[in-house]
Copies of this chain bind each other. A is one copy, B any other.
């Protein structure tokens, strides 16, 4: 009952308070050896520890018990949306990530340039990760493809990757991907997974056939793969749901995309360091009620199995905490979108450390930000989507229910 977003929506009231959601991507970890310390517990975090002492701590479950979330569901959940009810396809995220304005009926996919041999057998699924500049030229070639009844948009992303969007009447996104996930076999044809996507599958296959002809002499990038076909999900915005003027500060396309999907204003970041992101926060402080600031490095190190790198990334954020505090936010949330333990070299199902700071927070007095401290915190073990209502309450943006 409580999770009904309509219920919360009618209790939202305006206020002049500011909330900062600081996401250290893949924050939760595991010790290198049983009984040892996790990445977060290992990191020297004097500022976060002091903040923890004045905060309420807890652990979040992004999607459900035992479920390892991708970045999309992990973010939607901490943004306050049910990640199972609102499923965002990878294709839509890719297009969003390069600032492509998806229309509600567009069908998007992730595109890869790849290498095939003369018999059409896949020899490299990523075309040797060709340089982004090369990729841009090939994207321009693909833009020449024209098929009646549908419009195509191709946008370069990075290296071998591009966003692929089909626009037209009556398109469906229930389509299988062409990437066979291994080399030594030809790419698969796009297949309709539902009858209403049959025509779309045919159009996609026509596009791929023409792409093959146009790229014939361009080895290693002489073919394309398409996967993650998806329409833009219809999400209620932060303004509608929470009455917030919200801004996102993130460098990578995926996170900019998911923030855009909930209606956040995605701010431009000059540079690619965490410090650059904090500068954007400071510069835009007066213009928004809510800031989502995304730190990627913790997850990258986790996925690379780089325990020490992840520790350092956390310490890098810790050193910037005084700049955040200097802005005097009313509510601060420090957490992750999921766990990415270095020992697993991947996202994982483990609950995610959560810190909630604010004037009216019932502080636990646990002056340490770590998995075990958080497991003793008063926020308990909660669905990540419940964090936003608690933050909004602490920002005095939810009125009383009932008389």
Q: Mark A38-73, 1 if CB is under 8 A from B, else 0.
A: 100000000000000110000100011111111111
Contacts of A286 in B (CB 8 A): none
Q: Does A256 contact B (CB under 8 A)?
A: no
Measured in the bound complex, the distance between the Cα atoms of B193 and A79 in whole Å is: 33
| Contact between chains at B372 and A402 (CB < 8 Å) | no
- Residue A375 interfacial (CB < 8 Å): yes
Do A378 and B371 touch across chains, with their CB atoms under 8 A apart? yes
- Annotate A80-101 by CB proximity to B: 1 below 8 A, 0 otherwise: 0011110111100100000000
Q: Is A259 on the interface with B (CB-CB < 8 A)?
A: no
Q: Does A386 contact B (CB under 8 A)?
A: yes
In the complex, which residues of chain B have a beta carbon less than 8 angstroms from the beta carbon of A87? 402
Given known A54-B35, A401-B67, A402-B69, contact A390–B351 (CB-CB < 8 A)? no
CB atoms of A348 and B372 under 8 A apart? no
Question: Contacts of A53 on B, CB cut-off 8 Å?
Answer: 35
A151 CA / B15 CA spacing, docked (Å): 43
Q: Is the CB of B2 within 8 A of A64?
A: yes
Q: List residues of chain B with CB within 8 A of the CB of A166.
A: none
Taking the closest CB of chain B, its distance from the CB of A74, in whole angstroms, is: 8
A192 adjacent to chain B (CB < 8 Å):
no
Q: Which of A38, A90, A347, A403 has the most CB of B within 10 A?
A: A403
Q: How many protomers of this protein does the assembly include?
A: 2
Judged by a CB distance under 8 angstroms, whether A34 is at the interface is yes
Q: Is A129 an interface residue (CB 8 A)?
A: no
Cβ contact within 8 Å between A402 and B348: no
Q: Mark A1-34, 1 if CB is under 8 A from B, else 0.
A: 1101001100100000000000000000011001
Residues in chain B near residue A375, CB distance under 8 A: 364, 377-378, 380
Bound: A362/B74 CA distance, A: 20
Query: Do A349 and B398 touch (CB < 8 A)?
Result: yes
Q: Which of B66, B360, B364 contacts A389 (CB 8 A)?
A: B66
> What number of A residues sit within 8 Å (CB to CB) of B?
76
B82 touches A1 (CB 8 A): yes
Chain B CB within 8 A of A111 CB: no
Are A402 and B73 within 8 A (Cβ)? yes
Q: Which of B68, B371, B388 contacts A400 (CB 8 A)?
A: B68
Known contacts A84-B7, A378-B375; A34 and B66 CB within 8 A of each other: no
**Distance between A66 CB and nearest chain B CB, rounded to angstroms:** 3
Instruction: Decide yes or no whether A399 CB sits under 8 A from chain B.
Output: yes
Known: A59-B378, A68-B400. A364 touches B372 (CB 8 A): yes
- Nearest CB of chain B from residue A12's CB, rounded to whole Å: 11
- Measured between beta carbons, the chain B residues less than 8 angstroms from A2 are 63-65, 67, 84
CB <8 Å contact, A380 and B381:
yes
Question: Within 8 Å of chain B (Cβ to Cβ): is A158?
Answer: no
Interface, chain A (partner B; CB < 8 A): 1-2, 4, 7-8, 11, 30-31, 34-35, 38, 53-54, 59, 63-74, 82-85, 87-90, 93, 228, 341, 343-344, 346-351, 359-360, 362-365, 371-372, 375-382, 386-394, 398-403
A selection of 24 A-B contacts at a CB cut-off of 8 Å is A1-B85, A2-B63, A2-B65, A2-B84, A8-B66, A35-B53, A35-B54, A59-B378, A64-B386, A65-B387, A65-B390, A66-B394, A68-B399, A70-B401, A89-B403, A90-B402, A346-B400, A362-B371, A372-B378, A375-B377, A375-B378, A376-B376, A378-B381, A379-B381
